[in-house]
């Protein structure tokens, strides 16, 4: 296993530091980063490195190991199409199984040897003179012709600005930075947030804690979780007859895609889902006051639809309390809500989500003119095909702007992007290009396309504020249409929207549009 860059072949950079030279540098080793690495290996490319700040592959599924962590998409769909797993133990897999799948897939395709662990990227700067990305990491430096950011949207936790939180003398941990050594037995636990992580954590810890108080800002819509063990016979059939598992995957995909009709086309088609959620709440919460507090006042689908069979029962337990008054302040040993009630607290769990519309990696990547992606995206994230940005040659973004989905598997979207990047690399090879860059006009057109598709969708007109929208109210997170249309759009490189420069041409030639379609 590669652990440091210093053990790799190096080259002098700018006469002062030594860096490893590679053709492709990939940031991150979650589904997207591993997918990119496997794509390269399958096409015979070995001149690449995967820069991973953690100590193993897995990304989100390595970091999010809190109690109850599981996927809300069926296992047969939430996996690589080229690497099916016939041995999923349940229809919806839990975190350890998904992490094990990613580890096994990395080993199966021989990409672990390309991984550098403990390599947190602190900066990536495009050098126009030598047409290379200079990447600085905590494990050494890399110089790459092509940079692929697969850092992902669920990588960096958000921490709420609550008065007094820093003075709390008990334990504070984010759901994505769970301290497995901390014993919650008998403790007075506070969970801040009611998103996907919280509704898994609360029922998992409620039986062992002394008390659990859930601080809710906005209630989520929750539908039943149709989870069940996969029977041994089904696993044997999947193993012997792979087409059967592929057929199940296709059926799951089509079933979930029907949700797009209600979310993005005709909202009346969401009514059956809303009725299911209301019925689920009525069955599991008998107390009218508590039920009213747990009933959302926005259209289902406006925020992420959650699935759970045990969250509501956990909240109705004698040692559980739901607080909707909001937090006024945190004191050294307690939390005070806006209604003046002070609740003694031993541990605080922040289930407060991630930086999604302001990707932290954007602050570290600087393009041709020295401006970072964060600078360029000051008025909202903009790309061409959710993958490239003008002014950032040879940079490809995976799981970036407008790739998110609220109804189906992100792996499907990732594989769509992988095909696009692979065709871009093939184009560079076939045309002898040292540099490839999208045009400002192309990304402006794509931004308009996203805005047009977003009109009238449940995310913009559903009556809620969600992490799907940025501070300007723009949808910069979700793909607002059927996912098969995203795949069609990214099936091959839109060469007419790119300029390039062959080796030996003057620096800055591509930026001036020297080689176009």
pLDDT digits (tens, 9 = 90+) for 295-317: 999 999 988 899 999 999 999 99
Torsions phi, psi for 466 (to 5 deg):
-135, 170
Judge whether 260 lies within some domain. Answer: no
177 lies in the same domain as 221? yes
- CA 384, 388, 389, 390 torsion: positive or negative? negative
137 lies in the same domain as 79? yes
Judge whether 58 lies within some domain. Answer: yes
Judge whether 331 lies within some domain. Answer: yes
Judge whether 234 lies within some domain. Answer: no
φ/ψ region of 121 (left if φ > 0, alpha if ψ in -120 to 50, else beta) reads beta
Query: Which regions of 175-319 does DSSP assign to beta strands (E)?
Result: 188-192, 211-215, 222-223, 306-307
Torsions phi, psi for 446 (to 5 deg):
-70, -40
Judge whether 238 lies within some domain. Answer: no
CA-based R_g, the chain, Å = 24
> In a structure prediction context, what are the per-residue pLDDT tens digits for the chain, which is 517 residues long?
444 454 444 444 333 347 799 999 999 999 999 999 999 999 999 999 999 999 999 999 999 999 999 999 999 999 999 999 999 999 999 999 999 999 999 999 999 999 999 999 999 999 999 999 999 999 999 999 999 999 977 667 888 999 999 999 999 999 999 999 999 999 999 999 999 999 999 999 999 999 999 999 999 999 999 999 999 999 999 999 999 999 999 999 999 999 999 898 888 889 999 999 999 999 999 999 999 999 999 999 988 899 999 999 999 999 999 999 999 999 999 999 999 999 999 999 999 886 656 678 999 999 999 999 999 998 889 999 999 999 999 999 999 899 999 899 999 999 999 999 999 999 999 999 999 999 999 999 999 999 999 998 888 877 777 767 887 788 888 999 999 999 999 999 999 999 999 987 765 544 444 555 4
Distance (Å, rounded) from C-alpha 159 to C-alpha 263?
29
Query: Which regions of 256-324 does DSSP assign to beta strands (E)?
Result: 306-307, 320-323
341 lies in the same domain as 444? no
Q: How far is CA 164 from CA 169, 328, 333, 336, 448, in A?
A: 10, 9, 11, 10, 43
211 lies in the same domain as 316? yes
Q: Are 147 and 395 a contacting pair, CB within 8 Å?
A: yes
For the chain, the residue count is 517
Number of domains in the chain: 2
> Of 335, 350, 365, which closes a domain?
350
82 lies in the same domain as 103? yes
385 lies in the same domain as 499? yes
> Of 325, 350, 375, which closes a domain?
350
Contacts of 63 (CB under 8 A, 6+ apart): 54, 155, 176, 177
Judge whether 99 lies within some domain. Answer: yes
219 lies in the same domain as 324? yes
- Parallel, antiparallel, or unpaired: how do β-strands 515-516 and 498-502 relate? antiparallel
384 lies in the same domain as 462? yes
342 lies in the same domain as 376? no
Give me the CATH number covering residue 27. 3.50.50.60
> Of 350, 383, 402, which closes a domain?
350
Q: Alpha helix (H) ranges present in 316-355?
A: none
Torsions phi, psi for 48 (to 5 deg):
-150, 165
Judge whether 187 lies within some domain. Answer: yes
Which residue segment(s) compose the domain that 215 sits in? 165-228+267-350
172 lies in the same domain as 143? no
414 lies in the same domain as 336? no
Distance (Å, rounded) from C-alpha 373 to C-alpha 389?
8
pTM, 2 dp: 0.92
418 lies in the same domain as 323? no
Q: Are 133 and 146 a contacting pair, CB within 8 Å?
A: yes
Judge whether 437 lies within some domain. Answer: yes
Indicate the helix (H) or strand (E) that contains 123: strand 121-127
């Amino acid at each position: 296993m590669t652990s440091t860059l210093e053990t790799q072949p190096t080259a002098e950079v700018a006469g002062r530091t030594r860096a490893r030279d590679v053709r492709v540098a990939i940031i991150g080793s979650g589904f997207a980063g591993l997918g990119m690495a496997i794509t390269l290996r399958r096409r015979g490319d070995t001149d690449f490195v995967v820069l991973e700040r953690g100590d193993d592959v897995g990304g989100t599924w390595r970091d999010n190991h809190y109690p109850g962590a599981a996927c809300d998409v069926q296992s047969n769909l939430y996996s690589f199409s080229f690497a099916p797993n016939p041995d999923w133990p349940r229809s919806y897999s839990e975190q350890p199984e998904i992490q094990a799948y990613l580890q096994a897939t990395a080993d199966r395709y021989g990409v672990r040897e390309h991984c550098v662990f403990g390599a947190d990227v602190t900066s990536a700067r495009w050098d126009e003179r030598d047409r290379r990305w200079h990447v600085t990491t905590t494990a050494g430096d890399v110089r790459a012709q092509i940079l692929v950011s697969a850092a992902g949207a669920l990588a960096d936790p958000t921490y709420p600005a609550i008065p007094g939180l820093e003075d709390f003398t008990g334990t504070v941990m984010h759901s994505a930075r769970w301290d497995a050594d901390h014993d919650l037995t008998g403790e007075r636990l506070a969970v801040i947030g009611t998103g996907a992580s919280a509704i898994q954590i609360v029922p998992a810890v409620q039986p062992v804690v002394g008390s659990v108080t859930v601080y809710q800002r906005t209630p989520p819509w929750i539908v039943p979780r149709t989870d069940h063990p996969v029977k041994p016979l089904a696993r044997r059939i999947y193993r012997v007859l792979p087409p059967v598992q592929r057929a199940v995957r296709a059926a799951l995909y089509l079933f979930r895609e029907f949700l797009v009709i209600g979310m993005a086309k005709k909202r009346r088609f969401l009514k059956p889902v809303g009725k299911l959620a209301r019925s689920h709440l009525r069955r599991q919460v008998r107390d009218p006051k508590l039920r009213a507090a747990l009933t959302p006042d926005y259209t289902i689908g406006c925020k992420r639809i959650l699935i759970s069979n045990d969250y509501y029962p956990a909240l109705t337990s004698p040692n559980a309390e739901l607080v909707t008054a909001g937090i006024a302040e945190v004191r050294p040993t307690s939390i005070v809500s806006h209604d003046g009630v002070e609740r003694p607290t031993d541990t605080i769990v922040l289930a407060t989500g991630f930086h999604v519309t302001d990707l932290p990696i954007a602050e570290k990547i600087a393009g041709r003119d020295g401006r970072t992606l964060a600078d360029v995206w000051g008025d909202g994230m903009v790309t061409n095909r959710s993958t490239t940005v003008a002014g950032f040659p040879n940079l490809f973004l995976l799981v970036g702007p407008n790739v998110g989905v609220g109804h189906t598997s992100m792996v499907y979207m990732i594989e769509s992007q992988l095909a696009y990047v692979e065709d871009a690399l093939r184009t560079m090879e076939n045309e002898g290009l040292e540099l490839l860059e999208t045009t400002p006009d192309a990304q402006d057109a794509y931004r308009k396309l996203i805005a047009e598709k977003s009109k009238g969708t449940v995310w913009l007109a559903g009556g809620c504020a969600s992490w799907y929208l940025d501070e300007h109210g723009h949808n910069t997170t979700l793909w607002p249409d059927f996912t098969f249309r995203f795949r069609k759009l990214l099936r091959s490189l839109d060469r007419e929207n790119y300029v390039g420069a062959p080796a030996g041409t003057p620096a800055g030639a591509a930026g001036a549009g020297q080689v176009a379609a």
